[in-house]
Structure 1
Amino acid sequence: MNDRWSKLKEEMKAAAAELGIDKIGVASADPFTELKQILVRHRELGRESGFEEKDLDKRTNPALLFDNPQSIIAIAVAYPSKMDNPPKSERGARRGIMSRSSWGDDYHRVLRDRLARLEAWLRERVEGLRVESMVDTGELVDRAVAERAGLGWSAKNCAVITPEWGSWVYLGEMITNIPLPPDEQMTDQCGSCTICIDACPTDALVGPGQLDSSKCISFITQTKGFVEEPIMRKIGNRIYGCDTCQTVCPSNKGKNWTHQPELQPDPELVMPLLEPLLSMSNKEFQERYSRSSSAWRGKKPIQRNAVIALGNYKEESAVPELVKVLESDTRPVLRGTAAWALGRIGGAEAREALLAAFERESDEEAKAYIAKAIDALR
């Protein structure tokens, strides 16, 4: 019987490419005991993002999600790290940048498609097959499953680095009732390198493999509230996500993947002009970004981040658009952030608009941002 499952595993790995999957590994379905202790400590230190599954037992015990699990199949799908002919960001036509994880079609959709193909492949070969597939938003920790399944090692930047594809991979998994033999875990290959930790703009990597989500630009760009002034400066022109800890990684040097057609970027979508984003309607946002993973939080965070980027560029031509946001946007966060941007850019028009806005602003937090912007101009 063991020979049968070993043979099936090898055939499954050989079929990976035709299924649109770049790497397959198999993990045992035992509880992730050590991980649970790490997650408990992570919570005690207040380092969670709030986007995770709240129940730590469900995150670490496959048996709570699936009756009598026998193995977990982990998959990796590689995505691009470079863009052909990226558009130029220049004075009067400033652009933002979205992280590579939001290029092309929403990776949740792409990986669910790949897992569905794998499930169909298995159903043709295994009678009585039961599976439970998940991608990112599922209960299990994708990186922990991938590490146990031997896809790669868990790196200091909290990504899984595969020897073949670097960390430019999306991860998914499938709990099964078939006793596939597990793969060996890979030894850590980061060694003494701390380039990612040293390069993090906000010092969010508080130790090897330890991330304080509240400081992470990738997380902050997906929140909807006010952003603290020092962090806004460090966001730069990022309007969704952050790739710094991956782009500096020596294991990613020279790695760029263009063989998954759905994941290739549209340069105008992932490096958009910033000013038009400020007046984009909900309908326009959906038409442009509904297929991207960047759309899941709606347009508000992206518009706020576009305002921040214009402030960081000190883009004088954006002042009229930013004044419109300050004067007429219904959202206090956008008004307050526009005030900060105008305070960074300066000039008579910005100053007059800020003084007038201070007199009429009723939201206390937005008013505090306006007051700080006026002080900055002084």
Structure 2
Amino acid sequence: MDAEKLKQELIAYSKTIGVDKIRFTTADVFQELKERLKQQQENNYQSGFEKGTIEERTEPKKLMPSAKSIIAIALAYPSRLPNAPKSTKEEPRGLFCRASWGMDYHEVLRDRLNKLAAFLAERVDGFTYRSMVDTGELSDRAVAERAGIGFSAKNSFVITPEFGSYVYLGEMITNIPFLPDEPVEDSCGTCTKCIDSCPTGALVQGGQLNAQRCIAYLTQTKDFLPDEFRSKIGNRVYGCDTCQLVCPKNKGMDFHLHEEMEPDPEIVKPLLKPLLKMSNKEFKAKFGLISGSWRGKKPIQRNAILAIGHYKSTSAVPDLIELMEQDPRPVIRGTAAWAIGKIGLPEGYEAIRNALVKEREEQVREEMEKGLQFEQQYAETH
């Protein structure tokens, strides 16, 4: 087998199936990442969504003993929403982050990786592989960085020269000894726009993220959102793009290369009020194909309630009162009470007081008290 010839054939084939960038690296240990992960663990900066042990996440041969190299791929996704619907105070809209526009990227990249694997299986006897997209043990970012897809930036994204950081990443461990490609030079320089612009200070220093403070992570949690982050979330119902939007490397980057990734404006910038009473069946029918639905309906509804409070949308108060009084989920009842208080209508405060008498869940009662504090603040300032 001529590995170099095969590599060139695979690169040529990848372009015919919609892979925007493909690079190769060794299956050596990711030593620098290993040290960084240990530090993340010590500082409690992890999100809890990580898969596998530190060894499994940094040693490809732990995942596939016959590993000789890793193929890294990148697909560019859009950054601008054509015909974006307008949001108003009384008809407010939420926003899904750009990485959740279009069809679930896990499915799109798995499709490309499966096609690459089929191509290699036809040409190499005894070919073995293991593919991963985001939810595997390996760090997509570390693989892409070492393979030369792009450099690992201060905002913790991989930035490619061609597409900025608006790329999905995936990789395939193989038993073929492909010659590795050279990494891309880091060109963040002295720029700290992403660190300075992060709404919650989650970017501790260049390239290090405290996931516990990252809005992208917080929007995926299912419990009450901590108070300090409620005013920061704005109208985000899933994810956050701030550190990508401010990056100079992303200026003018907007690629519409894949039909599956084209966003539906009514899905990625949805009206918030219909989300409040949406059934599981309705939620799956509308949002089930996008990656932002993976945690289910509850976090999206909680975030929608917070966003309505952010907009102070008075027309939503009757719906919020109904949630506060009748929803079986404490997080939704309590968050609704907080949002009613934030909006600030007299009938809203009256409803909170009435509900407080009947409420037995302590955390929900605390949220109701927080809602009533807005009335007190209003009275003190007017």
Whether these two folds match at TM > 0.5 is yes
Determine which of 244, 247, 250 is the counterpart of 1:249.
247
Q: Which residue of 2 aligns with 1:172?
A: 170
Determine which of 195, 201, 205 is the counterpart of 1:203.
201
SS across alignment from 1:89: coil
Q: Which residue of 2 aligns with 1:52?
A: 50
Q: Which residue of 2 aligns with 1:113?
A: 111
Q: Which residue of 2 aligns with 1:70?
A: 68
SS across alignment from 2:232: helix
Runs of 4+ in 1 over 6 A off after TM superposition: none
- 1:13 partnered with 2:11: yes
Cα deviation per residue 1:16-71 (whole Å; 9 max; x = unaligned)?
22121000000100011121111011001000000001411100001111022110
Amino acid paired to 2:229: I
Determine which of 75, 79, 82 is the counterpart of 2:80.
82
On the 8 A contact 2:100/2:292 being kept in 1, the answer is yes
SS across alignment from 1:276: helix
Q: Which residue of 2 aligns with 1:238?
A: 236
On the 8 A contact 2:217/2:239 being kept in 1, the answer is yes
Cα deviation per residue 1:236-258 (whole Å; 9 max; x = unaligned)?
00000001100111111111111
The equivalences for 1:96-175 within 5 A come to: 96-175=94-173
Q: Which residue of 1 aligns with 2:380?
A: none
Cα deviation per residue 1:301-355 (whole Å; 9 max; x = unaligned)?
0000000000000111111111111111111111111111111111111111110
Amino acid paired to 2:308: L
Q: Which residue of 2 aligns with 1:356?
A: 354
Q: Which residue of 2 aligns with 1:333?
A: 331
Determine which of 217, 222, 228 is the counterpart of 1:219.
217
Q: Give TM-score, length-normalised by structure 1.
A: 0.98
SS across alignment from 2:163: coil
SS across alignment from 2:231: helix
CA RMSD, Structure 1 to Structure 2 (Å): 0.9
Percent sequence identity is 55
Q: Distance in 2 between matches of 1:19 and 1:31?
A: 30
- 1:295 partnered with 2:293: yes
Q: Distance in 2 between matches of 1:189 and 1:12?
A: 29
Q: Distance in 2 between matches of 1:115 and 1:270?
A: 26
- 1:309 partnered with 2:307: yes
- 1:286 partnered with 2:288: no
Q: Give TM-score, length-normalised by structure 2.
A: 0.97
Amino acid paired to 1:337: T
For this pair of structures, how many residues does the alignment match?
376
Q: Distance in 2 between matches of 1:291 and 1:355?
A: 40
Q: Distance in 2 between matches of 1:330 and 1:233?
A: 25
Give 1:362 shift. Answer: 1.0
Amino acid paired to 2:213: K
Give 1:231 shift. Answer: 0.4
Q: Distance in 2 between matches of 1:215 and 1:154?
A: 20
Q: Where do 5+ consecutive residues of structure 1 fail to align?
A: none
On the 8 A contact 2:200/2:232 being kept in 1, the answer is yes
Q: Which residue of 1 aligns with 2:367?
A: 369
Q: Which residue of 1 aligns with 2:379?
A: none
Instruction: After superposing the two structures, state which structure 1 stretch, 161-170 or 126-135, moved more.
Output: 126-135
Q: Distance in 2 between matches of 1:330 and 1:218?
A: 26
- 1:266 partnered with 2:264: yes
SS across alignment from 2:143: helix
SS across alignment from 1:16: helix
Q: Distance in 2 between matches of 1:206 and 1:357?
A: 41
On the 8 A contact 2:131/2:173 being kept in 1, the answer is yes
Give 1:12 shift. Answer: 1.7
Q: Where do 5+ consecutive residues of structure 2 fail to align?
A: 377-382
Give 1:282 shift. Answer: 0.5
Q: Distance in 2 between matches of 1:331 and 1:243?
A: 29
SS across alignment from 1:15: helix
Amino acid paired to 2:56: K
Amino acid paired to 2:228: P
Give 1:366 shift. Answer: 1.1
SS across alignment from 1:124: helix
Q: Distance in 1 between matches of 2:162 and 2:119?
A: 24
